[in-house]
A and B are shown apart, each in its own frame.
Chain A
Amino acid sequence: MQDYEVEFVERGDREARFLVRDITPAFANGIRRAMIADVPTFSVDELRVVENSSVMFDEQIGLRLGLVPLTTPVDEFEVGDTVTLSLDVQGPGREESTETVTAYSGDIVTSDPMVEPADENIPIIDLKPGQRLELEADAVLDRGREHAKHQGGVAVGYRHLQRVEVVGEKGEFEDDEPHILRGVIEEQEAAHASAGSGGEPRNGELVPTEAFDHDLTNRYPGKDLEVVDVPNAFVFHVETDGSLSVDELVTRAVDSLRGRAEELRDAVQL
């Protein structure tokens, strides 16, 4: 099996950016699609409404609960497994009160501590005096291709890595229009004069364009530049909804891709 060079530009629990070299555009897109559609996460799929005297229909509340990300431990469950959750929230006690009580995702009680809301501050509904919401919900493990609520990766994409080369000085009377570029650049030569625009450049250093406000003229003032896509090098930007960490999401996406490739190989073997 081939190894790939992976280099992180930014790395957080829920959001990361990393460079992968020597992969084809088709493979990069395969990873992206696997992150969106093939990594299973828990999501509310069925409700048993005991009492709902709120202003919204049971189905609308069900939709909102379905969109609450639930933490999904790796390798503990199989697709189709369910975990029961419950919610019981009441409006303010005093009848004449004009205040409301908000039911938050943090009010959801889980029967399995491994599967719980990833965020505690997602509002579900406001309850006025005398209103009450009591229900039991079944969370099901399923994939993003079945329903978007099961997507683990919510903002997943990639761009070509771009190499910026200084080809010369800009002419004295040329207009200095901004040269906007978004993504991550690979600096070629340490040949730019500006200090204080994101540190000293080294050859091959990866710089996110936020470092110079997406404007190459800030980083290379007075230089004539050439920007080229680096062949077969892609910078992924991955954000999860909190049900999985970025590491888990990416590795499980790649695992699912590998699983299907092996299945295909076994199936076509003569």
Chain B
Amino acid sequence: MSYKCSRCKRDVELDEYGGVRCPYCGHRVLLKERSRDIKDVDVE
């Protein structure tokens, strides 16, 4: 799952040991990126 650091805007890969923290700048706010998959939407 890919995240983006909200301070340095770099892509961040999270693993289960590192905790929620940007490895480049140490910022603790990460934003989840939208998946690149094609999404099916039903129009109601």
Q: Which residues of A are in contact with B by a Cβ distance under 8 Å?
A: 44-50, 52-53, 58-59, 62-63, 65-66, 147, 149
Contact = CB atoms under 8 A, between A and B. Distances in A.
Interface string B21-44: 000000000000010001111111
B38 A44 contact: no
B30 to A, nearest CB: 18
Contacts of A44: 43
B43 A49 contact: no
Contacts of B42: 45-46, 62
B43 A45 contact: yes
B38 A50 contact: yes
Contacts of A47: 39-41, 43
A50 B44 CA distance: 19
Contacts of A63: 43-44
B41 A59 contact: yes
A17 B43 CA distance: 34
Interface extent on B, as a size class? under 10
A50 B43 CA distance: 16
Contacts of B39: 47-49, 58
Contacts of B43: 44-47, 59, 62-63, 65-66, 149
Contacts of A65: 43
Contacts of A58: 39, 41
Contacts of B41: 46-49, 58-59, 62
A217 B20 CA distance: 80
A48 B39 CA distance: 5
Contacts of A147: 44
Given A45-B43, A49-B41, A59-B43, 19 more contacts: A45-B42, A46-B40, A46-B41, A46-B43, A47-B40, A47-B43, A48-B39, A48-B40, A49-B39, A49-B40, A50-B38, A58-B39, A58-B41, A59-B41, A62-B41, A63-B44, A66-B43, A147-B44, A149-B43
Contacts of A62: 41-43
A55 to B, nearest CB: 13
A122 to B, nearest CB: 16
Nearest first, the 4 closest Cβ-Cβ pairs linking A and B are A62-B43, A47-B41, A66-B43, A49-B39
Contacts of B40: 46-49
23 contacts: A45-B42, A45-B43, A46-B40, A46-B42, A46-B43, A47-B39, A47-B40, A47-B41, A47-B43, A48-B41, A49-B38, A49-B39, A49-B40, A50-B38, A52-B34, A53-B34, A59-B44, A62-B41, A62-B42, A63-B44, A65-B43, A66-B43, A147-B44
A249 B34 CA distance: 43
A218 B42 CA distance: 55
**Most chain B beta-carbon neighbours within 10 Å: one of A58, A66, A147:** A58
